[in-house]
Structure 1
Amino acid sequence: MENQTFSMDVLQLEGLKVSPDFSIPAFVLLLLIYIFIMVSNISLVVLIFMERSLHEPMYLLFCNMSINDVFGATAIIPRVLSDLFTPVTERYIYYYECVIQAFCGHFYAGASHTVLMIMAFDRYMAICNPLRYATIMTNRMVVMLSVGAWGTAFFLIVILIGLSARLSRCRRLVSAPFCDNASLFKLSCENILINHIYGLGTAMGTMACSLCSVTLTYLRIAMVCFNSKNKTVNSKALQTCATHLAVYLILLLSGNIIIILHRFENLSDERKLASLLFIVVPPSMNAVIYGLQIKAVREKMMIIFNRNKMKERNKMSMQN
């Protein structure tokens, strides 16, 4: 009985199917991407917090996205890296670790949508209500929006994972590159209708709310820009909005691909790759898009780079 209980607490993680010849290239590529995600996003957060001129609502809200990207990548990628050199038959994970990983992965996805929603609200207030922007988007409001975004995602995902964790288990194989909610409830032989309903409802509801809010926000912004005769203001508004919209479309596309592929059992390998890309592509693109497209951030990066370059030159001249 004890051996049976222990075996149910230790799951076999199928992971990515990578041949031994491609294990090292895959490991190096994924490791470089992970390092890039960490360095780019953490650098952007540090830059915003160190430069007082960037202590504005728009840039402070950027930090939510970068922090979330670091969290999501760290929760998934290191485990995938370690499994690349582990034979498929020896890839084991404790059930509680699987639950934690599933929670972190879904929390990252949910927070990505809620954070982008509050960023859309910020752009709406800045462009459509510029005279009231300073009085509405105070530091307190930024904190409240951030807490609301993270809190909403946390509440929804706790229920999602809790519904799956309550189920008894009759299987041990996790047919995915990492643990997610679908992997958890598929371990059970019980009726999982409520899991399907809540999981699909939460995913579709979150996407629908974010899609509607972003669509309505940008339609309103487009109308304001169309009626405005100030080309400079319109150009600046479109630049910042295009950046936000690009990040949102990347997230929406990568998330919907996973949901669609989960409905086709014969496309399991494609689903695994799509799941990994969801953790890799948005976090690696977000900091680049924001850092290079937002003029104020780009200028500060160039100033710091030139400042460091001048220091190195001064050191060289003093040594000579």
Structure 2
Amino acid sequence: MENYTFNSPTLQLEGLNVSKDSMYPLFLFLFFSYLFIIVANVGITLIVFIDKTLHQPMYILFCNLSVNDILGNSLLEPRLLVNLLRPPSERIISYYECVAQAFTTHMFSTTAHTILMIMAFDRYVAICNPLRYAVIMTNKMLIKLTVSAWGVAFVLVGILLGLTIRLNRCRTLMRSMYCNNAALFKLSCESVFINNVYGLTFTVVLFTSSIGSMVLTYTRIMVVCLTSKNKSLNSKALKTLSTHLVVYLILLFSGMSIITLHRFPQLTESRKLVAILYHIIPGSLNPIIYGMQSKEIRRFLSKLFDFKKVLPSF
């Protein structure tokens, strides 16, 4: 039975409802997924840092996506893995740690969208204004875009969680596997009308801006490709765009699935699984998609493995 308290310093997470037979296979799946996300994204980031030929805006912006995947998963999955092996009564988390985890969760989602938006802008400039690309995408512009991607997300999510922190709590059971804003403000017995309005506005603005920028930039790029007679340029442009589009659609579909499943309380367990996959799938596929698409990254890996082959063995 749920305990009713007043501003309790600790909360209880609901967790996944899985059988004992499914618990360990699920644990291993999540563990190896997390391990792959960390290794792949750290690897991509190191490759871009080491190889000077990759010191280009496109790859530096992609490193932001890798850093976001590392942070978003590292502050979520370890506790999720531990709680999976614990009985429900021991899935305890402090309120302030829960707020920090909720902030990280929403930052991960919001920043992924803002980073992909500035990456779309970068591709737009590269394809539609190739002669002015070096003039527009300077180091100063790159810093501005990066700070904007993280800064906008920080402010929007900060307001989102700030509206929740102001509420008094009369419940301790979180109806979620990990902390998020909706689960937090549902602990309150006060009016959450402002939270719902801002949360809805926040979601609509983020998705409208994200989808709108993608449609606009892709439309302009497609027009340039269709009117250009440079087949080599068109082929390279379409290859880059298809990679970016796949990454964006994966993120968009995952996010929309969670929002949709929130409308069906009877599908709570399905929503929990989708919420986990929302972190795992983009974080796992992003380095694979960009790594396989990038000729420069493939060349670096090829040289690395060839170098290891010729090393003398002792």
Distance in 1, Cα, partners of 2:23 & 2:305: 36
Equivalences for 1:206-225 in 2 at 5 Å?
206-225=206-225
TM-superposed CA distance for 1:29, in Å, is 1.0
Distance in 2, Cα, partners of 1:167 & 1:41: 37
SS for the counterpart of 1:103 is helix
Q: Which moved more, 1:109-118 or 1:136-145?
A: 136-145
TM-superposed CA distance for 1:7, in Å, is 7.6
Conserved 8 A contact 2:16-2:84: yes
TM-superposed CA distance for 1:230, in Å, is 1.0
Which residue pairs with 2:201 in the alignment? 201
Q: TM-score if structure 2 supplies the norm length? A: 0.97
Conserved 8 A contact 2:6-2:169: no
Equivalences for 1:1-320 in 2 at 5 Å?
8-311=8-311, 315-316=312-313, 319=314
RMSD: 1.4
Q: Which amino acid aligns with 1:219?
A: T
Runs of 4+ in 1 over 2 A off after TM superposition: 4-7
Conserved 8 A contact 2:6-2:170: no
1:215–1:7 distance in 2 versus 1, CA, 3 Å:
closer
TM-superposed CA distance for 1:5, in Å, is 6.7
- Higher helix content, 1 or 2: 1
TM-superposed CA distance for 1:175, in Å, is 1.1
Give aligned-pair identity as a percent: 51
Q: Which amino acid aligns with 1:17?
A: N
Distance in 2, Cα, partners of 1:273 & 1:20: 17
Deviations 1:194-249 (CA, angstroms, capped at 9, x unpaired) = 10111111112111101000111001100100011111111111111111110000
SS for the counterpart of 2:76 is helix
Structure 1: gaps (5+ residues): none
Q: Which amino acid aligns with 1:186?
A: K
Matched residue pairs, number? 312
SS for the counterpart of 2:8 is helix
SS for the counterpart of 2:11 is strand
Structure 2: gaps (5+ residues): none
Q: Which amino acid aligns with 1:84?
A: L
TM-superposed CA distance for 1:9, in Å, is 1.6
Deviations 1:57-94 (CA, angstroms, capped at 9, x unpaired) = 11111100000000111111111100111001221111
Conserved 8 A contact 2:164-2:181: yes
1:130–1:7 distance in 2 versus 1, CA, 3 Å:
closer
TM-superposed CA distance for 1:6, in Å, is 8.4
Deviations 1:165-192 (CA, angstroms, capped at 9, x unpaired) = 1100011111111010000000001110
